[in-house]
Structure formats: structure tokens, C-alpha cells
Structure 1
Amino acid sequence: MLSMPYSAASTSLSAWALALAAALAYAIPALASQRIRETVARLSLRVAWALHGLALAWGLLAQEPHFGFAPALSITAWLVLTVYVVEQQLYPQLRSRWPLSLLGSIAVLLTVLFPGKPLHVDASPWLPLHLALGIASYGLFAAAVVHAALMNRAERNMRQGGDHDSGLPLLTLERLTFRFVSAGFAVLTATLAAGWLFGEQLYGKAWVWNHKSVFSLLSWITFAVLLFGRKRFGWRGQSAVRVLYAGALLLLLAYVGSRFVIEVLLGRGA
């Protein structure tokens, strides 16, 4: 039976207001993209992105900051949308607003429903940096997955004789995908190295072989194989994208999956 130990009741009214405002702003380009002008859709997405950022800051910088699977997903979604907002300035024809708006709307609401566990003030001062590295790797790999999905759609449309409607040239999409993979791999490596070397200072205990560490290492190995295969054997196309998806799924299970089980299915905050 599902439970909500850190439920919406413990979330402040201001946090709810920011989250609902962001979700509504996201819903405009997500649900009415065909009935509103392009300028209105872009403005709504930028307003939603800004409100989403304020909601995240409110939750993380509050008097008793919380963190868990939902805030991790929300920050990841916000980072992906940040990449999209920047890229749309360079490529105004980029078309992935509808799914990203829906993702942002769901993520920002999940955070107020499941705010996570309190971050204790007596924790290591290095813990925020460790968490930031981990979330940055999530955001970079999520951006890689989004670009890979756009690349798949473009390739499929080209094979079927349709229009290439992703907004970016196919080779540009592929190049960006693997740049995000490379950057994410570097940050993930730093995250795992910090956990391995400074686990006792960060969490009060040395490295522990649990679901989180096992899935993290499996994802690291998967991405290492992907980058080696691309450099050594020229992997590309569907085969490379499948390996990317597998690594991203393993990484998602590492923290978000384990915290979801602990916080929601088992109803524990620790």
C-alpha cells in the first residue's frame, strides 16, 4: 500500500502556489500548442521554467530543506528545459516543446506531493556538492536521451519519406547527443569517485554495496562501453541509442528508483 510520509500537508502554501503556477504555465504550450501563437507558447514556457526554478529554490533553500526522488526528478527536468530554452535561441525551429512541457508540469507537482526527507544541518558540508554532481549527471544524461529521441524520430521520418521536423540537422543532433553523454560521464565519474573516497565524511559510513551503488556502477560501465564503442568502432544510430537508453535507465534506478521505493512504497524517510 502506498504511503506519503512527507506528504503535501508538510509542504508550505507558498511552495504549492509556485508549483501550481508553474504547472499551469507548462500546461499552456503542452495542451494548446496548436491553438496559440508561437510567441505565446514560447513566453509561457519561459515563464513556467522561471517559476519552476523558483519552486525548486524555495524547497532547497527553505528553513528545513528536503530532498528525495521527486526533487531529483524535478531538478533533472528543469535542467533539461534549461538546455531546451538555450538551444531554442540558436535553433528557433526546434520542436520538442509539448513533451518537455508535460514533463515539467508533472515533475513540479510531484515535488510538492513528495518533498522527500529533511537534509540535516549536521551533515557534511561536502554533501550539497556531492548531490549537485549527481543531479548534474542526471540532467546531462537526460538531455542526451532527449536529443537521442529527437534523432530517432528524425531518422524514422526520413525512412518513411516524411519531413525531418526535429528542427536540428540529424548530424547536429547526433553530435549533441554524444557531447551530453561525454559530459555526463565525466560528472558521473566524479560523483562516484567522491562517494568512494569520501563516503564516511559524506554519509557517516564508507562505501556500501546497496542497490544505489550497484545500479550506479552498472550505469557507469554501460556509458563507458558506449563511449569506447563509439570511439573505437564508430557506434552510431539505433544500436548506440539503445545502449544510451539502458545506461540512463540504470542511472534512474540508482537514486530515484531506490528513493521511490523507500519513500513511497515502504513509507520510510531514512
Structure 2
Amino acid sequence: MYTYLFVLAAFCYAVCACLPSKNRMAISLGTLFGWLLHGGALWVDVVTSGSLRMGFAIMLSATLWISVAAYWLENRNFSLDGLRILVLPCAAVSVLLPTVFPGNLIPLDGKSALFPWHIAIAMLAYSTLTIAAFHAVLMALQESKLHTRQSAQKAGWFALALDRLPALLTMEKLLFRLIGFGFFLLTLTVLSGVVFSEELFGKAFKWEHKTIFTMLSWLLFGILLAGRKWRGWRGKTALSFTLTGFTTLLLAYVGSRFVLEVVLHRSVA
């Protein structure tokens, strides 16, 4: 019944991704409208009476939903048109995934009141580090373009969008601001999972694939922030750590659930 909300949200994202950057107001309003539709659809789909619907598609969709919000807010302070071209098409695809892969219902009866908070913080951490990964890709493209300058007449629309990005140093400051906040949220996610494992999930803490990948991602981002502070890491080193940490985090939950739900057809909580 609410499928049309997902479709409308995907349509708004797709249109806003294709609009010329000069239509700044239309892009902003269209993105906001799509984001509201996306959020409403997720709420109706995920929150049911006495249970939560979870799955790799819902997790990915929710992550991109928060990432779109981060882009929209960040774009009000800086011109990040190149980020729009990366984020909105991905959001348009992810918003439709729950209609194809609905996931499983997780009963909340007997679970701690901390459980929804753990899920919410985890999604915020995933989303913040997702937008950081998009940001890192943009920086890599921006840096590459500096070494292959071409005339404005020959440049494509994406190259022109890259030209409108802030300077690399500003982009780098934004990247580490996102990583710092994402690392803080990921730390809360890891701590709540370790300390309250039995209360949250009804079982003692286990070293499984999801835990190992999450801890590895946390370690990578921690090393990056420490290297930035004490060794002044930047440029390709920072981008490599960011994308590796993000890929590892993606494998921790979304990737493992995709294998279990879609490839192995197993119902998981």
C-alpha cells in the first residue's frame, strides 16, 4: 500500500540528480520532498505493532536516507553539486530495494528498551560514514581532474560539477569532520553491542563475521584519525583509509545480510 511512496521518492531523487545545477532551488526543494517521502515510507515499513522490520535492503535504504539529509544540509553551506550526482542516484536505487527484498520482522517483546536506540545509532554511524565515502570519492576525482585540465567547452556536465566544488583543503576539512562524527557514533555502536549484548540481543557477546568486520572498520577509522592528528595524514592516504574502512563497514552488516537473505535464503534477525 505504501509502495507508491518509495516509487515517488525514487522519482524525485532521479529527477533532482538529472536537473542542471543552475536550478538550485528546484533541486533543493525536490530533494527535500523526496527525502520526506522516503522517510515516511521507511517509517510505515519498518515500524510495525510490537516489532521492527529489518533487512539488508531496509538498512541500505535508511543509510542513504540519512546520507541525503547530510548532503542537503551540507550543500546549504558549501556548493557540493558533485556530491548530488553521486548520492541521489544511489538513493533512488536504494529507496526501491525494500519493495523487492522486504527483510524480516524482529519482535520487540522481551527486548531491552536500548535495542531501538542501538539500531538508530548504528544507522547514524553507517550513514555518516557513507556520506564520508561519497565525499572521499569526490575528492579523488577532484584531485585527478587537477592533473588533467581541459577547456570548459570540452568538459562534460560532471566535470563542470567538480569545478564548482570547494577547494580541496576545504573538502578535506569537511571529510575529517564527517569521519570524526561517524567514528564517535560507531564507537557508541560498538560499545553498546559489547556491553549490552545479552540485554539487547538475548545472547552473550559473540565474535562473528558482523562483529569482526565492524571492529576492523572501527580500527581503520581510528588509525586514520590518529594518523591525521599525530602524523598529518592527508591526500591519498586519507582517501584510501576512508574507502577501505567504509567497505569493511558495509560488509559488516549490509553485505552479510545480503548473502544470508538473498543468496542463502535464510531468515535472520
Show structure 2 runs of 5+ residues with no match. 151-159
Which position in structure 2 is the counterpart of 1:248? 246
Cα distance in 2, alignment partners of residues 167 and 22 from structure 1: 26
Cα distance in 2, alignment partners of residues 194 and 61 from structure 1: 22
Specify which of 45, 50, 59 is matched with residue 31 of structure 2: 45
Residue deviations 1:212-264 (CA, integer Å, cap 9, x gap):
01111111111111111111111100121011111111111011111111111
Q: Check conservation: 1:96, 1:166, Cα contact below 8 A.
A: no
- Using the TM superposition, give the Cα deviation of residue 92 of structure 1 relative to its aligned residue in structure 2, in angstroms: 4.4
Cα distance in 1, alignment partners of residues 135 and 83 from structure 2: 10
- Using the TM superposition, give the Cα deviation of residue 36 of structure 1 relative to its aligned residue in structure 2, in angstroms: 8.8
Residue deviations 1:25-62 (CA, integer Å, cap 9, x gap):
112123x4249944333332221111111111112223
Residue deviations 1:42-101 (CA, integer Å, cap 9, x gap):
332221111111111112223353011111111111111101111222224633222222
Show structure 1 runs of 5+ residues with no match. 1-12
Question: RMSD of the alignment, in Å?
Answer: 1.9
Q: Check conservation: 2:79, 2:164, Cα contact below 8 A.
A: no
Matches within 5 A, 1:74-223: 74-92=61-79, 94-122=81-109, 123-162=111-150, 165-223=163-221
Stretch deviating more after TM superposition (214-223 or 40-49): 40-49
Q: Aligned pair 1:17/2:4, yes or no?
A: yes
- AA aligned opposite 1:130: H
Q: Check conservation: 2:57, 2:101, Cα contact below 8 A.
A: yes
Which position in structure 2 is the counterpart of 1:10? none
3-state secondary structure, aligned to 2:254: helix
Specify which of 28, 42, 47 is matched with residue 61 of structure 1: 47
Question: Could you tell me the TM-score, scaled by structure 2's length?
Answer: 0.89
Extract structure 1 runs of 4+ deviating beyond 6 A: none
Higher RCO (Cα < 8 Å, 6 or more apart): 1
Aligned identity (percent) is 37
Q: Check conservation: 1:185, 1:223, Cα contact below 8 A.
A: yes
Cα distance in 2, alignment partners of residues 37 and 151 from structure 1: 24
Question: Could you tell me the TM-score, scaled by structure 1's length?
Answer: 0.89
Cα distance in 2, alignment partners of residues 189 and 80 from structure 1: 19
Cα distance in 1, alignment partners of residues 227 and 26 from structure 2: 43
Cα–Cα, structure 1 residues 214 and 158, in superposed 2: closer, same or farther, change >3 Å? same
Q: Check conservation: 1:150, 1:166, Cα contact below 8 A.
A: no
